[in-house]
Amino acid sequence: MFPLTSFEQGSFTLITGPVKSEKTTILEAILNSAKDGGLMEKEPFLVVKHPNDDLKQPDHIGRHAAHSLQNPDEIARLLKEEHRHVIIGGISHYDSKNIVDLVDGLVRSNRNVVASGLNLNTSGMPYKHMSGLMSLTDDVVLTKGICDDNGCFREDAVRSVELEEGVFAPRCLHHFNYPGSPGTTPDRDGGIVVFAGPMFASKSVKWSSIVSRKKVANVPYVTLTWIDNTRYGTNAGSRSVFDEGVASLNNGKKISAVLVRNADDVVEYLKMKPCVRDVFIDEVMLLDNDYVNDKVDKSVLSVLNEYSARGYRFYLTGLHRNFKREPFFEMPKLMCVATHIEMSNAYCVVCSHPSTENQRMKWVAKGKYVPARYDDHIVATGGAKEMNDEPPQCYEARCLEHFELPGAPDVKYKFPKWSLI
């Protein structure tokens, strides 16, 4: 979503999709505009690419020279203080997790990073470190290919298959087949629509508008929410799985929702309601709390991959990173498998620039809140601090410049901050 105030701090834009979906073309267009408009002279660019991204042209992105580098440390060594923009082609090919730390360090140093890369491997799982990179995104461009399986020619292919060794092609969900893949349902197209971004970015408002349209059209659907999400005093008291609850939005709106705890509950509910094929899940990352704590074997990701192939459509809201600026459970992986992504930003309560972070504040005394510490629990539901109400924790929209996290470990890559002056 285009913000009302522009990004003056660092940001990360990820262009991602299957093979043959014009990811590099978008990078080239960005560089063309920057070159032709004179931006490259005013704010220097560092352009790099992984050599496996394009074997025919390993040292160029279109007409623009690029450093062909296989190691994130090599990129770090090339960075100069005057570089404002960093372009990385084929970012998904980097084997080292350091590529995630590098992007984080670049954004924290007030630089704009734009990268392209594959979303998934040929088994439909996030490609190498793409989920970690997805957790750092401030904007996502999901590219799509054309599925040519048996004359399909659909233009919404978001998966990749290997036809023979070294030969890859894009596939739509219906024609995405691989050893062990779930069966597909020919009578209906499935999908995974993700509304992501920080708190107070109106993700749930956009999501709820689709709920309203389904209701008006008499489409069978269900809205699900995590059973222990008690922000704004909702779903409190004694409650059981599949009880009727509510999903509470930050704008005060409440939507009726079925209470579930984890992915197993989602599967059980859908088996009980075979006529329901449109599934709305608010704060979907919380449903993986049991999974990451080894209480259940099945993740939301595995369920959505299976059921979307069978024609189910999922509409999700969630935070792709937690209050520590780290991946919020499996949410970045869900973004990797999404068929549509809409990113939003809020506005910083301190400076009104676009906010990208979820600032958790803890109550310590009457009228006094302090920033949460790095070693605090990841899950602590809450919303904005309301007048005459002092919850144990609340949240604020913050930009990276005003984001506070006492006790956080040092970042791996530290660079001098870029400044126009």
Give domain 191-344's CATH number out of 3.40.640.10, 3.40.50.300, 3.40.50.720, 3.30.450.40: 3.40.50.300
Q: Is the predicted pLDDT of residue 371 greater than 60, yes or no?
A: yes
Per-residue pLDDT at 386: 62
Q: CA–CA distance from 276 to each of 216, 267, 287, 313, 326 (Å)?
A: 16, 12, 20, 10, 34
Q: Is the predicted pLDDT of residue 196 greater than 80, yes or no?
A: yes
* Banded model confidence at residue 110, pLDDT cuts 50, 70, 90: very high
Per-residue pLDDT at 385: 65
Q: Quick one: which of 394, 398, 374 has its CA closest to 385?
A: 394
Per-residue pLDDT at 391: 82
Q: Quick one: which of 226, 331, 315 has its CA closest to 279?
A: 315
Residue 125 falls in which region: left (phi positive, over 0), alpha (psi -120 to 50) or beta: beta
Per-residue pLDDT at 331: 98
User: Of all residues in the chain, what percent carry a pLDDT higher than 70?
Assistant: 93
pLDDT tens for 294-328 read 999 999 999 999 999 889 999 999 999 999 999 99
Lowest mean pLDDT among 7-11, 81-85, 108-112: 7-11
Per-residue pLDDT at 367: 84
Q: Is the predicted pLDDT of residue 2 greater than 60, yes or no?
A: no
Per-residue pLDDT at 239: 83
Per-residue pLDDT at 421: 64
Residue 233 falls in which region: left (phi positive, over 0), alpha (psi -120 to 50) or beta: left
pLDDT tens for 86-95 read 999 999 999 9
Top-level class of domain 11-142: alpha beta
pLDDT tens for 278-290 read 999 999 999 999 9
Per-residue pLDDT at 381: 80
Q: Is the predicted pLDDT of residue 179 greater than 90, yes or no?
A: no
Domain extents in the chain = 11-142, 191-344
Average confidence (pLDDT) over 181-193: 76
* Banded model confidence at residue 232, pLDDT cuts 50, 70, 90: low
Q: Is the predicted pLDDT of residue 336 greater than 70, yes or no?
A: yes
* Banded model confidence at residue 184, pLDDT cuts 50, 70, 90: low
Lowest mean pLDDT among 171-185, 248-262, 292-306, 402-416: 171-185
Residue bearing the bigger pLDDT, 20 or 179: 20
Q: What is the DSSP letter of 99?
A: H
pLDDT tens for 44-102 read 999 999 999 988 899 999 999 999 999 999 999 999 999 999 999 999 999 999 999 99
Per-residue pLDDT at 387: 46
Q: Is the predicted pLDDT of residue 419 greater than 90, yes or no?
A: no
Q: Decide whether 11-142 matches 191-344 in CATH topology.
A: yes
CA distance 362 to 118: 39
C-alpha dihedral, 297 to 299 to 300 to 304, nearest 10° = -90
Please compute, for residue 288, the number of CA atoms within 13 A of its CA located in the half-sphere on the CB side: 22
CA-angle at 67, arms to 66 and 68, nearest 5°: 110
Q: Quick one: which of 303, 277, 296 has its CA closest to 182?
A: 303
Determine phi and psi for 313, rounding to 5 degrees: -115, 125
Average pLDDT across the chain, whole number = 92
Q: Is the predicted pLDDT of residue 235 greater than 70, yes or no?
A: no
Do β-strands 221-226 and 254-260 pair in parallel, antiparallel, or remain unpaired?
parallel
Q: Quick one: which of 76, 134, 141, 131 has its CA closest to 109?
A: 76
Q: Is the predicted pLDDT of residue 153 greater than 60, yes or no?
A: yes
